[in-house]
Amino acid sequence: MSTFTTADGTEIFYKDWGTGRPVVFSHGWPLSADAWDGQLRLVAEAGFRAVAHDRRGHGRSGQSWQGNHMDQYADDLAELLEKLDLRDAVLVGHSTGGGEVARYVGRHGTGRVAKAVLLGAVPPLMLKTDANPEGTPVEAFDDIRAGVESDRSQFYRTLSEPFYGANRPGNKVSQGKRDEFWLQGMQAGLKAAYDCVEQFSETDFTEDLKRIDVPTLIAHGDDDQIVPIAASALKTAELVKDAKLKVYPGGSHGLVGDFEQAFDADLLEFVKS
């Protein structure tokens, strides 16, 4: 397995496929780099170097007690880019991974970055506040924490339904796809999974987004039941200077079916441009 050890002693697993210009993927909660396998293969076969890591506490990475917060996630990503000496990279983040990409730029700049892709991403702020009335009430995130704490196995099985839009009429989401979500979720440590809920829901990425000064593709399904588009992509597109917004009609939060095929085509076009 390919791993490196961070400054605080946490072992981070990563995949490194192909050669060429690097495309670096950050995954959503509570998943792992495996969630990006289709896209990793896609870009590697197109002549790019595809890299993805398991966030600390998730997948095959070390389950540190400390450091399960957005600043550390961004610093871990920075250490990965430095370890592999990746330059002129395209950073791609889904959901929580989109927050990780934004915070990376906020803390480390774009010296190693040429482009960014934010898919179904949590910025600028998921939580409903007086200043962010389109956000999600804190009670919803309290329910997520309670589910993770009490019976995370059943909670992940249940969550996979809205995650992929399997509760929508006419959906073609397979049980295998939902089982894949469950399996990756169960690889995440309880401490990391629990702590990360606060990070993806309550972190304000507004200032990070304003620091993104490279071409950025903001991609979002308009039927995203996990990260509703009104509080996320529509606002992010107004904050990022050089942003292109792509909305997928009927698209869910997780990549599946026609939504995945459409995004794959847009991703490949964007990284090639």
Question: CA 42, CA 20: separation in Å to the nearest integer?
Answer: 13
Q: How far is CA 206 from CA 54, 181, 229, in A?
A: 25, 29, 16
Active site residue 253: yes
Question: CA 254, CA 28: separation in Å to the nearest integer?
Answer: 9
Handedness of CA 128, 77, 51, 53 (dihedral sign): negative
Catalytic residue among 26, 64, 95, 160: 95
Name the DSSP class of 54.
P
Residues 6+ apart with CB under 8 A from 174: none
Active site residue 224: yes
Catalytic residue among 32, 76, 224, 252: 224
211 within 8 A of 105, measured Cβ to Cβ: yes
Active site residue 95: yes
Catalytic positions are 95, 224, 253
